[in-house]
Homo-oligomer: A and B are copies of this chain.
Amino acid sequence: MEYILSERVKTLKPSAIREIFKYAADPSYISLSAGNPSPEAFPSEAIAEISAKILSEDPISALQYSVTEGYPPLRRTVAQYMKDKYNVGNDNDDILITSGAQQVMDLLTKSVCNEGDTVICEAPSFIGSLNSFRSYNCRLCGVPVEEDGMNLQALENALKTEKNVRFIYIISNFQNPSGITTSLEKRKAIYQLALKYNTMILEDNPYGELRISGENVPCIKSLDTENIVVYAGSFSKVLSPGIRVGYAIAPKPVLQKMIVCKQGEDVHTNTWAQMVTNSFMTDYDFEAHLAGLREIYKKKADFCMELLDKYLVPAGITYHRIEGGLFIWCKLPEGSKLTMNEFCLKAVENKVCVVPGNAFLADEKEQSDSFRINFSTPTDEQLENGIKILGKLALEIL
């Protein structure tokens, strides 16, 4: 049989990162290409303890069907936490627990975008989200990211000229892959532009709690007096990605439709995972855990940046210093003999995996002169060996 596929999936390809992730599972390769939290960052013992308690005291609640909106105590806990700590959410918003933050991108796109509608995203941006938008046949319009966030002139041009822009997608803190944080001034300006052009903002903030230096910048959602921002939160980087728990805080009329779409997608998020998350936030010292994470990641990030200074900078590769998150964005020297793709291929031949920058662009066929390094997954030894190999390679062939 010749299978007929929908238009929306015809050109859809597996995420380059997920594919590299499989490939990089080969232990003879050094993978700097993943986005996994550091294994030492998981509160495994606490989770085992909580899980044992739930499954002995209240197994039926954990194992039975639940409501699509999410486990009610977790909804309350997260809503209160985000309100108290970040002023995120108001009376016109509501909260939905999702199967990872990835599902927020999916559900919002499904709820507000017709095929052919436009999503404005940062260039570069997170490939998983871009693929989610693509999977509804959205047109992606990339706006170049500068040191302090999107280029505002380019953003306004896009808002003016693109048809049916449904939302602006922003990873506001320690953006994946560029590592940059949008400044408060730009957050305000982007919010005003969204209002002016009558479009929504999807603020994705998986790394916000992982700041290792500098001052916290208020969320765009905390400025949202007009209820145009959908906030995507995640427990993947602060608790565990394998349990797939995220959430949306969004204006009620939009969230209502996202809930109906979630009913049709997976009915509800794994209840055990929601109960574990709630207990971890309420019965344990969540803030102390976050402080511990920041320490782990600060050590790793500082170490990685030292290595980059030592091995890559002398070879002409520059990078953007980060204040948090899991990724560092490295740029090949001007006038390189090799393109970035050729360099990444050479790196793989030398058993080091990094992600080529064009994977993060609205149009993957565009050129990029950068690649992404992750420092949270590899061991210190792998990190040092990997970056040393990249540096040697760069000196030899660029």
- Whether the pair A65, B242 counts as a contact (CB closer than 8 A) is yes
- Whether the pair B241, A64 counts as a contact (CB closer than 8 A) is yes
User: Which of A52, A61, A260 is packed against the most chain B CB atoms within 10 Å?
Assistant: A260
A37 CB → nearest B CB, Å: 8
Q: Does A18 reach chain B (CB closer than 8 Å)?
A: yes
How many angstroms between the C-alpha atoms of A257 and B32 in the bound complex? Answer: 27
- Whether the pair A132, B265 counts as a contact (CB closer than 8 A) is yes
The verdict on A36 contacting B14 (CB below 8 Å), with A114-B7, A243-B271, A263-B128 known, is no
A260 CB → nearest B CB, Å: 5
A284 CB → nearest B CB, Å: 15
- Whether the pair A22, B270 counts as a contact (CB closer than 8 A) is no
**Chain B residues, Cβ within 8 Å of A241:** 63-65, 267
A165 CB → nearest B CB, Å: 10
Q: Does A181 reach chain B (CB closer than 8 Å)?
A: no
How many angstroms between the C-alpha atoms of A65 and B99 in the bound complex? Answer: 13
Q: Does A341 reach chain B (CB closer than 8 Å)?
A: no
- Whether the pair B265, A102 counts as a contact (CB closer than 8 A) is yes
- Whether the pair A135, B112 counts as a contact (CB closer than 8 A) is no
**Chain B residues, Cβ within 8 Å of A8:** 110, 114
- Whether the pair B264, A266 counts as a contact (CB closer than 8 A) is no
User: Which of A9, A98, A228 is packed against the most chain B CB atoms within 10 Å?
Assistant: A9
Interface size class of A (residues with CB under 8 A): 35 or more
Report which of B1, B236, B270 forms a contact with A244, defined as CB distance below 8 A: B270
How many angstroms between the C-alpha atoms of A324 and B222 in the bound complex? Answer: 53
Closest to A194 in B: B1
- Whether the pair B244, A267 counts as a contact (CB closer than 8 A) is yes
Q: Mark A230-261, 1 if CB is under 8 A from B, else 0.
A: 00000010001111100000010110010111
Closest to A55 in B: B48
Q: Mark A39-54, 1 if CB is under 8 A from B, else 0.
A: 1001010011001100
Q: Mark A1-40, 1 if CB is under 8 A from B, else 0.
A: 1011111110011110010011000000000001111010
The verdict on A63 contacting B15 (CB below 8 Å), with A260-B9, A273-B270 known, is no
The verdict on A242 contacting B227 (CB below 8 Å), with A59-B44, A257-B12, A261-B135 known, is no
Q: Which of A97-125 contact B (CB under 8 A)?
A: 98-100, 102-103, 105-106, 110-115, 117
Q: Mark A157-185, 1 if CB is under 8 A from B, else 0.
A: 00000000010000000000000000000
Closest to A3 in B: B253
A255 CB → nearest B CB, Å: 10
- Whether the pair B5, A112 counts as a contact (CB closer than 8 A) is yes
Q: Does A334 reach chain B (CB closer than 8 Å)?
A: no
- Whether the pair B242, A13 counts as a contact (CB closer than 8 A) is no
**Chain B residues, Cβ within 8 Å of A272:** 242-243, 270, 272-273
**Chain B residues, Cβ within 8 Å of A9:** 110-111, 257, 260-261
The verdict on A242 contacting B131 (CB below 8 Å), with A5-B112, A18-B263, A263-B18 known, is no
Report which of B5, B200, B260, B266 forms a contact with A111, defined as CB distance below 8 A: B5
Report which of B236, B240, B266 forms a contact with A99, defined as CB distance below 8 A: B266
**Chain B residues, Cβ within 8 Å of A66:** 242
Closest to A69 in B: B22
**Chain B residues, Cβ within 8 Å of A62:** 242
Q: Does A300 reach chain B (CB closer than 8 Å)?
A: no
Q: Does A67 reach chain B (CB closer than 8 Å)?
A: yes
- Whether the pair A39, B12 counts as a contact (CB closer than 8 A) is no
- Whether the pair B261, A244 counts as a contact (CB closer than 8 A) is no
How many angstroms between the C-alpha atoms of A198 and B3 in the bound complex? Answer: 9
Would you give 5 A-B contacts (Cβ < 8 Å), ordered by A?
A: A35-B65, A48-B55, A99-B270, A243-B272, A244-B268
- CB-CB nearest 6 A-B residue pairs: A44-B59, A48-B55, A132-B264, A63-B240, A242-B271, A99-B266
